[in-house]
Structure 1
Amino acid sequence: MKRFLQDEIPKLNFKKALKKPIPIKCIQIDEPFEVESMEGLVKGKKGDWLMVGINGEKYVCDAAIFQKTYDIIDEN
Protein backbone atom coordinates (compact mmCIF):
# COMPACT_ATOMS: atom_id res chain seq x y z
CA MET A 1 0.00 0.00 0.00
CA LYS A 2 1.36 3.43 -0.94
CA ARG A 3 1.62 6.05 1.77
CA PHE A 4 1.69 9.80 1.18
CA LEU A 5 2.94 12.12 3.90
CA GLN A 6 1.45 15.54 4.58
CA ASP A 7 4.68 17.51 4.21
CA GLU A 8 6.06 15.76 1.10
CA ILE A 9 4.89 15.98 -2.51
CA PRO A 10 5.47 12.60 -4.14
CA LYS A 11 7.44 12.42 -7.38
CA LEU A 12 4.52 11.40 -9.57
CA ASN A 13 3.27 12.64 -12.94
CA PHE A 14 0.57 14.98 -11.60
CA LYS A 15 -2.02 16.53 -13.94
CA LYS A 16 -3.51 19.97 -13.35
CA ALA A 17 -7.20 20.39 -12.65
CA LEU A 18 -9.40 23.44 -12.12
CA LYS A 19 -12.18 23.21 -9.56
CA LYS A 20 -15.62 23.67 -11.13
CA PRO A 21 -17.32 26.95 -10.21
CA ILE A 22 -20.25 25.50 -8.29
CA PRO A 23 -22.13 28.05 -6.16
CA ILE A 24 -22.64 27.09 -2.51
CA LYS A 25 -24.36 28.76 0.41
CA CYS A 26 -22.19 30.49 2.98
CA ILE A 27 -22.44 32.95 5.86
CA GLN A 28 -19.79 34.52 8.06
CA ILE A 29 -20.49 33.90 11.75
CA ASP A 30 -19.50 36.61 14.25
CA GLU A 31 -19.06 34.34 17.28
CA PRO A 32 -17.53 30.91 18.00
CA PHE A 33 -19.78 28.09 16.74
CA GLU A 34 -20.05 24.33 16.25
CA VAL A 35 -21.25 22.38 13.21
CA GLU A 36 -22.23 18.73 12.89
CA SER A 37 -20.29 17.86 9.73
CA MET A 38 -19.55 14.65 7.85
CA GLU A 39 -16.31 14.48 9.91
CA GLY A 40 -18.16 14.88 13.22
CA LEU A 41 -18.50 17.96 15.42
CA VAL A 42 -16.31 20.79 14.08
CA LYS A 43 -15.67 24.11 15.82
CA GLY A 44 -15.52 27.45 14.04
CA LYS A 45 -13.92 30.61 15.35
CA LYS A 46 -15.41 34.10 15.34
CA GLY A 47 -15.22 35.31 11.72
CA ASP A 48 -15.13 31.84 10.16
CA TRP A 49 -17.67 30.85 7.53
CA LEU A 50 -20.47 28.29 7.78
CA MET A 51 -20.70 26.58 4.40
CA VAL A 52 -23.45 24.40 2.94
CA GLY A 53 -22.28 22.23 0.04
CA ILE A 54 -24.19 21.06 -3.04
CA ASN A 55 -25.47 17.95 -1.24
CA GLY A 56 -26.53 19.84 1.90
CA GLU A 57 -23.37 18.97 3.83
CA LYS A 58 -22.26 21.60 6.34
CA TYR A 59 -18.67 22.54 7.09
CA VAL A 60 -16.51 25.34 8.48
CA CYS A 61 -14.14 27.43 6.37
CA ASP A 62 -11.45 29.47 8.11
CA ALA A 63 -11.84 33.19 7.36
CA ALA A 64 -8.33 33.51 5.84
CA ILE A 65 -8.86 30.45 3.60
CA PHE A 66 -12.27 31.77 2.52
CA GLN A 67 -10.75 35.11 1.52
CA LYS A 68 -8.08 33.37 -0.60
CA THR A 69 -10.37 30.86 -2.33
CA TYR A 70 -13.92 32.25 -2.61
CA ASP A 71 -15.66 35.25 -4.15
CA ILE A 72 -19.15 36.28 -3.04
CA ILE A 73 -21.63 36.14 -5.96
CA ASP A 74 -23.77 39.22 -6.43
CA GLU A 75 -27.22 37.75 -7.14
CA ASN A 76 -28.92 41.06 -8.02
Structure 2
Amino acid sequence: MGKFRKKPVVVDAWQFTDAYEGFRIVKHMNIKRSWRLGADASMPREDKILIPTLEGVMEASLGDWIIRGVNGEFYPCKPDIFEKTYEPA
Protein backbone atom coordinates (compact mmCIF):
# COMPACT_ATOMS: atom_id res chain seq x y z
CA MET A 1 0.00 0.00 0.00
CA GLY A 2 1.38 3.42 -0.97
CA LYS A 3 0.47 7.00 -0.18
CA PHE A 4 -1.19 9.16 -2.81
CA ARG A 5 -1.93 12.86 -3.08
CA LYS A 6 -5.06 14.12 -4.82
CA LYS A 7 -4.24 15.92 -8.08
CA PRO A 8 -5.01 19.63 -8.02
CA VAL A 9 -8.24 20.24 -9.90
CA VAL A 10 -10.15 23.49 -10.36
CA VAL A 11 -13.94 23.11 -10.02
CA ASP A 12 -16.93 25.44 -10.21
CA ALA A 13 -18.83 25.64 -6.91
CA TRP A 14 -21.79 27.58 -5.52
CA GLN A 15 -22.85 27.81 -1.89
CA PHE A 16 -26.55 27.24 -1.24
CA THR A 17 -27.23 30.04 1.26
CA ASP A 18 -30.83 31.13 0.75
CA ALA A 19 -33.89 30.78 -1.50
CA TYR A 20 -32.57 33.25 -4.08
CA GLU A 21 -29.23 31.44 -4.32
CA GLY A 22 -31.09 28.11 -4.47
CA PHE A 23 -33.16 29.38 -7.38
CA ARG A 24 -30.01 30.58 -9.17
CA ILE A 25 -28.26 27.23 -8.64
CA VAL A 26 -31.29 25.26 -9.82
CA LYS A 27 -31.68 27.45 -12.90
CA HIS A 28 -27.98 27.27 -13.74
CA MET A 29 -27.74 23.51 -13.30
CA ASN A 30 -31.23 22.60 -14.51
CA ILE A 31 -31.75 20.33 -11.49
CA LYS A 32 -34.79 19.36 -9.41
CA ARG A 33 -35.65 21.08 -6.17
CA SER A 34 -37.68 20.42 -3.04
CA TRP A 35 -39.92 23.10 -1.53
CA ARG A 36 -41.06 23.36 2.08
CA LEU A 37 -43.28 25.92 3.72
CA GLY A 38 -41.70 28.64 5.82
CA ALA A 39 -42.29 29.00 9.56
CA ASP A 40 -45.52 30.96 9.02
CA ALA A 41 -46.80 28.31 6.52
CA SER A 42 -47.82 31.04 4.06
CA MET A 43 -44.64 31.60 2.03
CA PRO A 44 -42.80 28.75 0.32
CA ARG A 45 -39.04 28.77 0.75
CA GLU A 46 -36.47 26.56 -0.81
CA ASP A 47 -34.37 24.84 1.83
CA LYS A 48 -33.29 21.72 -0.02
CA ILE A 49 -32.13 20.90 -3.52
CA LEU A 50 -32.32 17.40 -4.97
CA ILE A 51 -29.34 16.77 -7.24
CA PRO A 52 -29.12 13.84 -9.63
CA THR A 53 -25.53 12.53 -9.27
CA LEU A 54 -23.59 9.55 -10.62
CA GLU A 55 -24.40 7.78 -7.30
CA GLY A 56 -28.13 8.60 -7.38
CA VAL A 57 -30.16 11.56 -6.15
CA MET A 58 -28.47 13.46 -3.31
CA GLU A 59 -29.89 16.22 -1.13
CA ALA A 60 -28.20 19.57 -0.55
CA SER A 61 -29.28 21.67 2.44
CA LEU A 62 -28.75 25.33 3.23
CA GLY A 63 -25.03 26.02 3.67
CA ASP A 64 -23.90 23.13 1.46
CA TRP A 65 -21.72 23.70 -1.59
CA ILE A 66 -22.81 22.47 -5.01
CA ILE A 67 -19.81 21.42 -7.10
CA ARG A 68 -19.50 20.77 -10.83
CA GLY A 69 -16.95 17.96 -11.17
CA VAL A 70 -14.28 17.53 -13.82
CA ASN A 71 -16.66 15.60 -16.10
CA GLY A 72 -19.52 18.12 -15.77
CA GLU A 73 -21.35 16.15 -13.07
CA PHE A 74 -22.88 17.93 -10.05
CA TYR A 75 -22.77 16.88 -6.42
CA PRO A 76 -23.29 18.48 -2.99
CA CYS A 77 -20.55 18.92 -0.40
CA LYS A 78 -20.94 19.79 3.28
CA PRO A 79 -19.24 23.08 4.28
CA ASP A 80 -16.68 21.50 6.63
CA ILE A 81 -15.52 19.02 3.98
CA PHE A 82 -15.46 21.76 1.33
CA GLU A 83 -13.25 23.94 3.54
CA LYS A 84 -10.79 21.07 4.12
CA THR A 85 -10.68 20.09 0.45
CA TYR A 86 -10.90 23.29 -1.61
CA GLU A 87 -9.37 26.77 -1.64
CA PRO A 88 -10.03 29.74 -3.96
CA ALA A 89 -8.27 29.43 -7.33
TM-score class, shorter-chain normalisation, is: 0.7 to 0.9
Q: Which residue of 1 aligns with 2:65?
A: 49
Calculate the aligned-residue CA RMSD, in Å: 1.0
Normalised TM-score (structure 1):
0.73
CA distance in 1, matches of 2:88, 2:15: 11
CA distance in 1, matches of 2:76, 2:3: 26
Runs of 4+ in 1 over 6 A off after TM superposition: none
Count of residues paired in the alignment: 60
Q: Which has the larger radius of gyration?
A: 1
- Quote how far apart the aligned CAs of 1:20 are: 0.6
Which ranges in structure 2 are unaligned for 5 or more consecutive residues?
Answer: 18-46
Q: Which has the higher helix share?
A: 2
Which ranges in structure 1 are unaligned for 5 or more consecutive residues?
Answer: 1-13
CA distance in 2, matches of 1:69, 1:19: 10
Percent identical pairs in the alignment equals: 35
Normalised TM-score (structure 2):
0.63
Encode CA deviations 1:3-42: one digit per residue, 9 max, x unaligned. xxxxxxxxxxx20111110101111111421111111110
Q: Which has the higher strand share?
A: 2
Give the one of 54, 72, 75 matched to 1:59: 75
- Quote how far apart the aligned CAs of 1:69 are: 1.2
The higher relative CO (CA closer than 8 Å, separation ≥ 6) is in 2
Secondary structure at the counterpart of residue 32 of structure 1 = strand
